């Protein structure tokens, strides 16, 4: 299955948290023949059948619990899907400053190497290239921060599914 690992990890983390707090569900969660991969397949098929593009955390977590609650359930065929987990990421001023420095230097280096011996660059050309590289660098920093936050949230055990803003886009 090509579901994103982060999605599977978020579902498993939620189920682990519920099982730790609810002894009755803990027994249900241990059922032989049940596993997180089939749970995710069930969720993706349910989403696909619904025709909806987005679901709340509670809806998705409810589908996961339903999978474990049912003795016999048709999980459907494996689904190749890209699952988007939205999580607000805010960069610190220091991270933004660092991204800007890297972007500026990267832009200067790139333009200089591409134009070496061809033409002399104006300050305006350098500034345009710097701005583009800055945007790309900030996007990369945000992406790296998202990865860190997902890993941190997976490691952290919480009783609240509010860490994940939306599981589907």
**pLDDT tens string 73-130:** 999 998 887 777 765 556 788 878 887 788 888 887 877 777 666 666 678 877 888 8
Distance, in Å, from the CA atom of 140 to the CA atom of 153, rounded to the nearest integer, reads 20
Residues 127, 59 share a domain? no
pLDDT at 88: 53
Q: Is the pTM of this model over 0.85?
A: no
Residue 161 has pLDDT above 60, yes or no: no
Residues 118, 78 share a domain? no
Distance, in Å, from the CA atom of 161 to the CA atom of 17, rounded to the nearest integer, reads 9
CA atoms within 13 A on the CB side of 42: 22
pLDDT over 70 percentage in the chain? 79
Kindly state the average pLDDT of the residues 53-77: 91
Give the torsion through C-alpha atoms of 140, 145, 150, 151, to 10 deg: 110
Q: Is residue 71 part of a domain?
A: yes
Q: Is residue 92 part of a domain?
A: no
CA angle centred on 36, ends 150 and 75, rounded to 5°: 125
Tokens representing 65? 């619990």
Higher per-residue pLDDT: 152 or 87: 152
Q: Is residue 18 part of a domain?
A: yes
Residues 131, 58 share a domain? no
Residue span of the structural domain in which 65 resides: 5-86+157-163
Q: Are 110 and 129 in contact (CB under 8 A)?
A: yes
């Amino acid at each position: 299955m090509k579901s994103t690992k982060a999605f599977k990890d978020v579902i498993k983390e939620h189920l682990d948290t519920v099982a730790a707090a609810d002894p009755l569900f803990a027994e249900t969660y241990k059922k032989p023949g049940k596993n997180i991969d089939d749970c995710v397949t069930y969720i993706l098929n349910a989403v696909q059948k619904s025709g909806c593009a987005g679901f709340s955390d509670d809806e998705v977590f409810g589908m996961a619990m339903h999978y474990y609650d049912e003795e016999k359930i048709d999980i459907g065929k494996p689904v190749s899907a890209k699952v988007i987990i939205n999580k607000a990421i805010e960069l610190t001023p220091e991270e933004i400053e660092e991204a800007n420095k890297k972007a500026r230097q990267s832009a200067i280096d790139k333009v200089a190497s591409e134009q070496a011996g061809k033409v002399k660059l104006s300050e305006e050309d350098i500034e345009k290239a710097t701005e583009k590289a800055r945007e790309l660098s900030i996007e990369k920093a945000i992406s790296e921060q998202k990865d860190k936050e997902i890993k941190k949230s997976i490691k952290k055990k919480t009783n609240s599914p509010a860490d994940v803003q939306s599981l589907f886009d």
